[in-house]
A and B are shown apart, each in its own frame.
Chain A
């Protein structure tokens, strides 16, 4: 028996629906059809009246979720693709994210964003939105990299009293398997050392964790021990774990599948250089997707985003500095 990242997300939702009568799911095609990615497969049947198909109206989907949250429910919204959340952007950043600050009324909405590149998906089904949402006060942004985290962090997201942007990577949906679902987990807000090493630190999250682990494996025979930090949540960002790792290794490479400008990787470097300048033996580096829309063709796509090979190359360069 094994469970995929996608199944973990489905199971977490089933668990939440079972345990908490306040939970319901709302989104396009999530009902009997089970969602474009099948993340809500069979849930409409198991939980009648609590898994609702919405019109193609991302703005109204989010607005409705906020209203339901005000009324004490715990909506889980599925944006069919993270890219489409831009249509509901206003309700996310101006309605959901400001509610608690303005009124002292919490807004427990979980917004699931199937995100990130898969080969052939092109500019409008591949985007990484974590940076955009992390920019806004009032939102929590989670980026699970493992099956276990996909499950435990989604359950925790639903329990959190604030709006959570849950970035689930589509590339990991089927690629990633675990033996079983976890019974315990690190809490949201804590990063994880995915691989220990003493020569340099790679800080990354979501699908890039696996690329970074591959790169670390590639560098091991060359004598380099690369530490990989999986942020797990980009907001809040566990700066302490990152700093402790950099204190051990003296070298920092940040990797993100999102665009670089003002992004998560920039934020990590800003924090490490401003708070831990003395820990660094070399200038911190980062590796992101190229500053163009995400290309369709597999040749272009593979060159557009960071890969294990590109991370290894960047790491070698940094290790020689």
Chain B
């Protein structure tokens, strides 16, 4: 289960960021500080997001799932950030279609094949706009973990 492995040091309920690069830097720094990712992680994230953007519009809720090559990751993990003010990301699969993102699920992936089920669970959470709206509305990381736990129990 994802919720069991969430680390509250990697959950931001009211992140103040000026643009998408600022989000990647701040959330990525937490993954480095908590020893999930290597020092090269943030730079690699920024580069990859520019080339292969990860913004998604899920029934009107903007989400981004930034991630990068496994070589920049030490141990797998997920960081979650609810943004104080939405910032624009480019939509996945597009050149320049913007999506106003208010929740970021940053993935630290080590072995995608081995973690297929976890990736699928994260996608199932992201594809549920009701869960996303609830995540946006709560005030603490414990509440976010609780919402994810509830969703996972329905999968």
Chains A and B are bound partners? no
Q: Which B residues form the contact surface with A (CB < 8 A)? A: none
Interface residues, chain A, with chain B CB atoms under 8 Å away: none
